[in-house]
Amino acid sequence: MDEIINNIQQLAVTYGMNVLFAILIYLFGKWASRIVKDIIVKIMRRSNVDPLLITFSSNLAYAAMIAFVVIAALNQLGIATTSFIAILGAAGLAIGLALQGSLSNFAAGVLMIIFRPFKVGDFIEAAGASGVVEGMDVFTTNIRTGDNKSVIVPNNKIMGDNIVNYSAKDTRRIDLVIGIGYDSDIKSAKSILNDILSNDERILKDPLPTIGVLELADSSVNLAVRPWVNTTDYWQVYFDLNEVIKARFDEASINIPYPQQDVHLYKYQNS
């Protein structure tokens, strides 16, 4: 009985120390990995690297370091890491098939880093979401919507769909359709519109704004008003133009009609 107890104690001492060292290796390795990740981020920021590349690369490096730490901890426990890696490799195919979505997200993230369809801070529309890009991880992209909601979009959804980058160009064209009544004077309306655009310093002179008759609609003559502005001024100019045009047209008694129908009543007499 004493011999059994001694054997148990020896095993507890031997393997207990291994378990303790394995835990210490994991905790220290995780702490060191975070430190290295922070160092990578600081170095890349000082080098003015694209923030999108910083988040992607630092997260990828951190994942690789954690994998190394786990292998080192398993080795301390006496588990043959070569056999473990061989088993992991053999199971890789099954894992890959089970994680096709995650792997495609990773591949899509790599492609976005290479081709750079957008960067952090750009306003984009992709995969049914629109907003400002806040960052990209290994598998997902974080988008902040206009009403301050955070949308996490899988990378493969973005790469598999059209990407509209509203921030890619320095200038944008505002497309307004202004309807006037058929009894209103087109030349007067165009003169007022031209005066409004000419007096707004935010509207670019090159290229010149376009004002023309777009269509003769059912209830109105629709004028196309298309000025060019800096991308940062787009929405403010858009809102201001609508307000100023309405006020100026009211002053000039130019009618802005709304859809309407004329109903004619006929009285029939029975013979």
The per-residue pLDDT for 41 is: 83
Say if residue 9 is in the same domain as residue 89.
yes
The percent of residues in the chain predicted with pLDDT above 90, rounded, is: 45
Which one is predicted more confidently, 190 or 35?
190
Q: Give the per-residue pLDDT at 48.
A: 75
CB 262 within 8 A of CB 210: no
Q: Which residue has the higher pLDDT, 256 or 230?
A: 230
Would the pLDDT of 111 be above 90? no
Look at residue 258 and tell me if it is in a domain: no
Same domain, 90 and 123: no
The answer to whether residue 15 sits within a structural domain is: yes
The answer to the question of residue 112 being in a domain is no
- Interval 210-225 mean pLDDT: 94
* Residue 183 falls inside a structural domain: yes
Which is more confidently placed, 125 or 57? 125
Asked whether residue 269 is assigned to any structural domain, the reply reads: no
| Confidence tier at 106 by pLDDT (50, 70, 90) | confident
Residues 6+ apart with CB under 8 A from 103: 96
With 60 as the cut, is the pLDDT of residue 90 above it? no
Q: 254 near 190, Cβ under 8 Å?
A: no
Mark whether 82 and 6 lie in a shared domain. Answer: yes
- The CATH number of the domain where 146 resides is what? 2.30.30.60
Q: How far is the C-alpha of 248 from the C-alpha of 244, rounded, in Å?
A: 6
In this structure, is residue 261 part of a structural domain? no
Q: CB neighbours (10 Å) of residue 227?
A: 26
Could you give the count of Cα atoms lying within 13 Å of 132 in the half-sphere of its Cβ?
8
If asked whether residues 161 and 178 sit together in one domain, one would say no
Of 54, 70, 98, which closes a domain? 98
- Answer yes or no: do 125 and 141 share one domain: yes
Q: Are residues 14 and 87 in the same domain?
A: yes
What is the C-alpha separation between 228 and 245, in angstroms, rounded? Answer: 17
Mean pLDDT, to the nearest integer, of 138-145?
A: 91
The residue segments making up the domain with residue 227 are 171-251
Q: Are the beta carbons of 173 and 165 closer than 8 angstroms?
A: no
Same domain, 213 and 246: yes
How many structural domains compose the chain?
Answer: 3
CATH value at residue 26: 1.10.287.1260
User: Confidence band (pLDDT; 50, 70, 90) for 85?
Assistant: low
Question: Is residue 198 domain-resident?
Answer: yes
Residue 265 lies in a domain: no
